[in-house]
Copies of this chain bind each other. A is one copy, B any other.
């Protein structure tokens, strides 16, 4: 099994997520890239869109509808939301799908519609999709046909918070999640606020109270806490390309200490290859995970008694997107989970 190559399509290959997926896939012994799609670039070699991917014998970009699905086993989808669900809905049944878009992350059709502004085009699939936070849904991912990979912010926030919320160590009704992301998180689309001259040497918060990753975080934390939750989620745009930092502020449950939180995280992730607690007192730094599938966590005393600070750092394009997609691929196909994801962080 582990020697077999899966014939793979990357649907929506012209964004940063697509590029990073191809980067990882090319070094993965069980992925054989058979099709690359990008409707607006159909007919071009990938090297015209991503010069660093030249010289790898990759297939020419085609339109989504041009893929020969009979000869494909698995599809990674990096399409914009709304488009993704339509394309995936129409795929033949034998195709296993790893969706990197936002389309199948929310389980509740109403919440989806409210968050994304239109009804879901594939509500049945939506019910079947498994939320691809690997460390927390491994068993379900193994056997599913459709994985919905979490957003970058939810991956960081949930990896950090789920274990302590499940154990009831913190008051989940009063969670503050201050998040900071580099510019690749905003994608490759042309927007004024992502120009170098606008984003460089400056920072600001954005989508305060309204970011679409908030309902996703709330959905999973609510499940963990077994009660409907609303959380503060405040993202910031930081002048760097890759990297995401989440600083969470929480009230400890009665009788719980900061060490209890730390111990719980330590235990929960003890055998996980991609999640690590930083040494005591060391704050997670995005440079130390850049380009890798690692998440760094740590927990700190607050000055306010009874409060705790939890911090996570990851690379938004790897563990926050394409790396976790590959990790889910490994789980789905019974491979060692680190296959193709062994590269270390690129520091500095």
Contacts and interface: CB of A to CB of B under 8 A. Distances in A.
A276 B186 CA distance: 28
Given A288-B52, A347-B50, A242 B201 contact: yes
A342 B28 CA distance: 11
Interface stretch (A113-121, A130-138, A172-180): A172-180
Nearest to A201: B240
Interface string A298-332: 00111111010101010000000000000000000
A239 B226 CA distance: 39
Contacts of A236: 180, 245, 247
Contacts of A47: 279
Interface string A211-249: 000100000000000000011111010111111010101
B183 A196 contact: yes
Given A209-B300, A302-B209, A247 B234 contact: yes
A343 interface: yes
A302 B50 contact: no
A198 B287 contact: yes
A200 B183 contact: yes
Interface residues of A, number: 88
Given A180-B203, A236-B245, A344 B283 contact: no
A307 to B, nearest CB: 6
Given A201-B243, A214-B303, A348-B197, A283 B52 contact: no
Central interface residue in A16, A52, A54, A288, by most chain B CB within 10 Å: A52
A197 B188 contact: yes
Interface of A: 16, 19, 23, 26-27, 47, 50-56, 173-174, 176, 178, 180, 182-184, 186, 188, 190-192, 194-206, 208-209, 214, 230-234, 236, 238-243, 245, 247, 249, 276, 278-279, 282-292, 300-305, 307, 309, 311, 313, 342-348
Q: Which 8 A-B pairs have the closest CB atoms?
A: A202-B287, A190-B190, A52-B288, A204-B285, A183-B196, A52-B345, A197-B348, A178-B178
Given A202-B285, A204-B283, A232-B302, 17 more contacts: A23-B347, A52-B344, A183-B200, A184-B197, A186-B197, A194-B196, A195-B195, A196-B198, A201-B241, A201-B287, A202-B287, A204-B284, A205-B245, A209-B303, A230-B304, A236-B247, A242-B346
30 contacts: A16-B348, A19-B348, A23-B346, A23-B347, A26-B344, A52-B287, A54-B279, A56-B344, A176-B176, A178-B178, A183-B195, A183-B197, A188-B192, A188-B198, A194-B195, A196-B196, A196-B199, A196-B200, A200-B239, A200-B241, A203-B240, A204-B286, A205-B245, A208-B283, A209-B303, A230-B305, A232-B309, A234-B247, A236-B247, A249-B249
